[in-house]
Amino acid sequence: MTEKTDREIIFEVLNGNRDIFCFLVRKYERPIFNYIFRMVRSKPDAEDLAQDTFVKAFSALNKYDDSYEFSTWIYRIALNVCRDYFRKKKIFFFSLSAPIGDEEESELEDFIPQDSFHNPDDVLLNQELRSSLEKAISDLPIKFREVIILRHLEGLSYDEISTVTGLPVGTVKTYLHRARKKLQDELGEFLE
């Protein structure tokens, strides 16, 4: 049996087959969950917000404009869910001096390494680099964090980021440039 496309699944959901929406959830749960976790830095909150994202997507499915990819649309919902979260918490950026809490350290252990480390020194370096990089990302202002995660961690194109964030492509590029500059400043020693 050939795999159904997103549009075919959506068509079926809108025609009453609610359960098939589960395929879309399974397909996009990982990127959406990761995006949200990178944004909010709390696993329980990320889980709630990721659920909210899919529930909202389901409720708004009849308004889905299929001239956009579903993947772009669901990222846009996730981005708005995160913005609401920050608005409610009145968080506009994380303090540079804020220490990483125990919770965050333990959550970092849940990450599945994509690369393997052979030399113990490399492991130490990479863990340290990873922690510093994670912290530097979470210290970015939200608007910069959004674009850097979407571009370099989620692999979206400039056009897709523009659609998701509602920013002109030029602004996306500017934000990315400034975000990378800030990260370079933070990670100076690791980039030598």
Q: Residues in the site for another protein, rule: CB under 8 A?
A: 18-19, 21-22, 25-26, 29-30, 33-34, 37, 43, 47, 50-51, 54-55, 58-59, 107, 110-115, 129-130, 133-134, 148, 152-153, 155, 180, 183-184, 187, 190-191
Distances (CA, A) of 135 to 4, 105, 141: 39, 11, 12
Q: Nearest approach, Cβ of 138 to another protein (angstroms)? A: 12
Q: Nearest approach, Cβ of 31 to another protein (angstroms)? A: 9
The residue to which tokens 């690791």 are assigned: 190
Distances (CA, A) of 39 to 44, 108, 118, 136: 13, 14, 30, 12
Q: Nearest approach, Cβ of 145 to another protein (angstroms)? A: 12
The Cα–Cα gap between 34 and 38 comes to 6
Instruction: Count CA within 13 A, CB hemisphere, residue 72.
Output: 18
Q: Nearest approach, Cβ of 90 to another protein (angstroms)? A: 26
The Cα–Cα gap between 34 and 40 comes to 10
What angle (nearest 5°) sits at the alpha carbon of residue 3, between those of residues 114 and 23? 70
Q: Nearest approach, Cβ of 107 to another protein (angstroms)? A: 8
> CB-wise, 97 or 116, nearer to another protein?
116
> CB-wise, 67 or 121, nearer to another protein?
121
> CB-wise, 101 or 113, nearer to another protein?
113
> CB-wise, 92 or 111, nearer to another protein?
111
Taking the chain, what is the end-to-end CA distance rounded to the nearest angstrom? 51
> CB-wise, 143 or 152, nearer to another protein?
152
